A and B are shown apart, each in its own frame.
Chain A
Amino acid sequence: DAGVTQSPTHLIKTRGQQVTLRCSPKSGHDTVSWYQQALGQGPQFIFQYYEEEERQRGNFPDRFSGHQFPNYSSELNVNALLLGDSALYLCASSSERGASTDTQYFGPGTRLTVL
């Protein structure tokens, strides 16, 4: 059973560009959450998707947007990249509608470097 997968593994962009990161949830999971982990910090919640809609959002600007597809996979889009967007972006999936008691399974992350 494949776990959570993310692509690409690494990505280098320049300031002002746009980037799309992809996530496939664990089999049987219907909820996807995205996190940003800056170097030396804990992950910070960006947003969560369920039934193709953004259900919760953390303190991130509108430059961060996402999408969930009918097969539950998800994309994270970041526009107008800033140097401060350089981080490890983690995707996590869960089932049971992402209820608070459900366990989230994390992917290995995408390392984004903005130059």
Chain B
Amino acid sequence: AQSVTQPDIHITVSEGASLELRCNYSYGATPYLFWYVQSPGQGLQLLLKYFSGDTLVQGIKGFEAEFKRSQSSFNLRKPSVHWSDAAEYFCAVVPFSGGYQKVTFGTGTKLQVIP
């Protein structure tokens, strides 16, 4: 069955430190891949997406993600975390069906940033 896994439920980093959030997927073919962020009381905001081409994708707010086919992973990174990055982050996939969107989300990783 197709699935997306975020192994880390909660991560704490110091402000200014680097960040990597993990995402693994299990699909028959490479799906479309997304990272969303959700701040408390807010809806989801798209950080970046990968469809094809360059495996290193740049997003908003200084985030990037690298697609690794061999590992079925799409990890999110940021070189220097700011206190405002504290939020919950969701990896999401859409099957490469050429059809319509049916987004499957991971269970999320909650990021805490300490001074």
Complex contacts, B100 vs chain A, CB 8 Å: 48, 50, 55-56, 97-100
Q: How far is the CA of A33 from the CA of B92 in the complex (A)?
A: 15
Interface size range on B against A: 20 to 34
Q: How far is the CB of B52 from chain A (nearest CB, A)?
A: 9
Closest A residue by C-beta to B108:
A42
Contact call B101/A94, Cβ cutoff below 8 A: yes
| A window 82-99: CB within 8 A of B | 90, 92, 94, 97-99
User: A106 with B108: in contact, given A55-B100, A56-B100, A101-B32 (CB under 8 Å)?
Assistant: no
Contact call B107/A100, Cβ cutoff below 8 A: no
Complex contacts, B98 vs chain A, CB 8 Å: 100
Q: How far is the CA of A102 from the CA of B46 in the complex (A)?
A: 12
Contact call B101/A106, Cβ cutoff below 8 A: no
Contact call B90/A43, Cβ cutoff below 8 A: yes
Contact call B108/A90, Cβ cutoff below 8 A: no
| A window 32-73: CB within 8 A of B | 33, 35, 40-45, 48, 50, 55-56, 58
The interface stretch among B14-22, B36-44, B77-85 is: B36-44
Complex contacts, B51 vs chain A, CB 8 Å: 101
Q: Specify which of A4, A41, A48 is in contact with B43 (CB 8 Å cutoff).
A: A4
- B residues adjacent to A (C-beta < 8 A): 32, 36, 41-46, 49, 51, 90, 92, 94-108
The contact sample of 28 A-B pairs, CB cut-off 8 A, is A33-B101, A33-B103, A35-B105, A41-B107, A42-B106, A43-B44, A43-B105, A44-B105, A50-B100, A56-B102, A92-B44, A97-B100, A99-B100, A99-B101, A100-B95, A100-B99, A100-B100, A100-B101, A102-B101, A103-B49, A104-B101, A105-B46, A106-B44, A106-B45, A108-B41, A108-B42, A108-B43, A109-B43
